Amino acid sequence: MRLLIAGGTLAAAALVLAGCASPGTSASRAEGPAIVATTTQVGDFTRELVGSSAEVTQLLTPGQGAHGFDPSAGQLLALAGADAVVVNGGGLESWLDDAIDASGFDGVLIDASEGIELFGTADHGDDHADQADHADDHGDHADHADDHAAHDHGDGNPHIWTDPELAERMVDNIAHGLAEVPGVDAAEIEENERDYAAQLDALDAWISENVATVPVERRLLVTNHDAFTYFVDAYDVTFIGSIIPSFDDNAEPSAAEIDELVAKIRDTGVDAVFSEASISPKAAKTIAAESGVSVYSGDDALYGDSLGQPGSEGETYVGSQVHNARLILESWGVEPSTLPAALQG
């Protein structure tokens, strides 16, 4: 059964749509395809791919999480007139089916998570209990993902973009989907994908090389919520725990869960707690103070569910990942190496 978005929004949107547009029409179509992207990450991927060949409307704004999102009537109008909608998938946009029904969207739906293994809660625990057994070659990660295609996307962790290698697979899925949209310049999509893939390869290599300088037993991480599963799996990091013990950044930790996390931090020797840019740092600061460790917040918060505001280090996907990796490495006492030329925009 689908999760219904706010009834008031749907009712108002239905009236607006009835008076202003019919399904599948858009004033922008005469000037080129209209593409709607849901999250900040897939919005950035899509803009990298289409360049000037299509208009991209992004539903979520920087700093806004997807879990509790409720599209406005105007955003439903954008869906109504879109030639394609690009989604993160993996169950992240629980509101999407109802938004599409309300808008009457009848274009191409592109799921960036198609074919990518999703970790669930049990997988996450099993993976990091066996960190010492992980392969050193990050190139094996995609193959590992393919071996578990039977998982239900609705029950898994949808934060797949935190692993640059999986982000590259998301980009490939988006590129293939966009190539099927009438009016999109397929040759430009292909060229842009090739250029962007080179950046993502350079990003993955830079993170891998720097993380490899840290002994495995020192690669410990505590974050606001469970959004970095794929990052820690990719780079053999041990995830000690999250302040919000859930994939959903709207959840609240219990007092017992907070006490348990403080005990883990003290027992394992974690040096820092990371807040996230799209979540209040209050709980992270409290837990860090109780544990006697540093807290990374404000400009030093990680970019998890959302990219950053224009002008911030996290404005783009690549920038957000460089920012996150640099701060995590510094928390382990490592000064990261100079960025490769491909990442020095």
∠ CA(93), CA(220), CA(340), 5° rounding?
75
Cβ–Cβ under 8 Å, residues 243 and 302: no
What does 35-78 look like in DSSP terms, one character per residue?
EEE-SHHHHHHHHHHHTTSSEEEESSPTT--STT----HHHHHH
Q: How far apart are the first and last CA of the chain?
A: 45
Averaged confidence pLDDT in the chain: 83
CA distances, 151 to each of 51, 65, 115, 141 (Å): 34, 24, 10, 16
Say what the pLDDT of residue 170 is: 98
Write down the residue that tokens 């749907």 correspond to.
Answer: 10
Q: Bigger pLDDT: 219 or 15?
A: 219
Q: d(Cα 300, Cα 120) in Å, to the nearest integer?
A: 28
Band the pLDDT of 271: cuts 50, 70, 90: very high
Say what the pLDDT of residue 131 is: 34
Nearest CA among 262, 242, 260 for reference residue 251: 242
Say what the pLDDT of residue 145 is: 35
Q: d(Cα 79, Cα 213) in Å, to the nearest integer?
A: 46
∠ CA(321), CA(326), CA(327), 5° rounding?
105
CB-based contacts of 217, cutoff 8 Å, min separation 6: none
What fold, for 121-126+211-343? Rossmann fold (3.40.50)
- Rounded to an integer, the average pLDDT of 248-255 is 66
pLDDT of 133 above 60? no
Cβ–Cβ under 8 Å, residues 48 and 105: no
Q: What is the pLDDT of residues 162-198, one digit of tens each?
A: 999 999 999 999 999 999 999 999 999 999 999 999 9
Say what the pLDDT of residue 246 is: 58
Torsional class of 58: left (φ above 0), alpha (ψ -120 to 50), beta (otherwise): beta
Nearest CA among 279, 225, 307, 339 for reference residue 47: 307
What sign does the dihedral 85-91-96-97 (CA atoms) show?
positive
Cβ–Cβ under 8 Å, residues 296 and 50: no
Nearest CA among 39, 294, 321, 56 for reference residue 204: 321
Cross-strand partners of 273 = 295
Residue 322's SS3 state is helix
Q: d(Cα 267, Cα 100) in Å, to the nearest integer?
A: 48
Q: Bigger pLDDT: 201 or 31?
A: 201
Q: Judge if 7-117+155-200 and 121-126+211-343 fold alike in CATH terms.
A: yes
Phi/psi at 109 (5° precision): -100, 120
Say what the pLDDT of residue 249 is: 52
Q: Where are the domains positioned within the chain?
A: 7-117+155-200, 121-126+211-343
pLDDT of 142 above 90? no
Cβ–Cβ under 8 Å, residues 45 and 170: yes
CA distances, 299 to each of 60, 314, 344 (Å): 21, 10, 20
Write down the residue that tokens 């920038």 correspond to.
Answer: 319
pTM of the model: 0.83
| CATH architecture of the domain with residue range 7-117+155-200 | 3-Layer(aba) Sandwich (3.40)
Say what the pLDDT of residue 247 is: 55
Say what the pLDDT of residue 248 is: 53
pLDDT of 146 above 60? no
pLDDT of 34 above 90? yes
Q: What is the pLDDT of residues 55-109, one digit of tens each?
A: 899 999 999 888 779 999 999 999 999 999 999 999 999 999 999 999 999 999 9
Say what the pLDDT of residue 25 is: 33
What sign does the dihedral 237-329-320-177 (CA atoms) show?
negative
- How many other CB atoms sit within 10 Å of the CB of residue 153? 16
Beta strands (DSSP E) in 31-188 are 34-37, 55-58, 84-87, 108-111
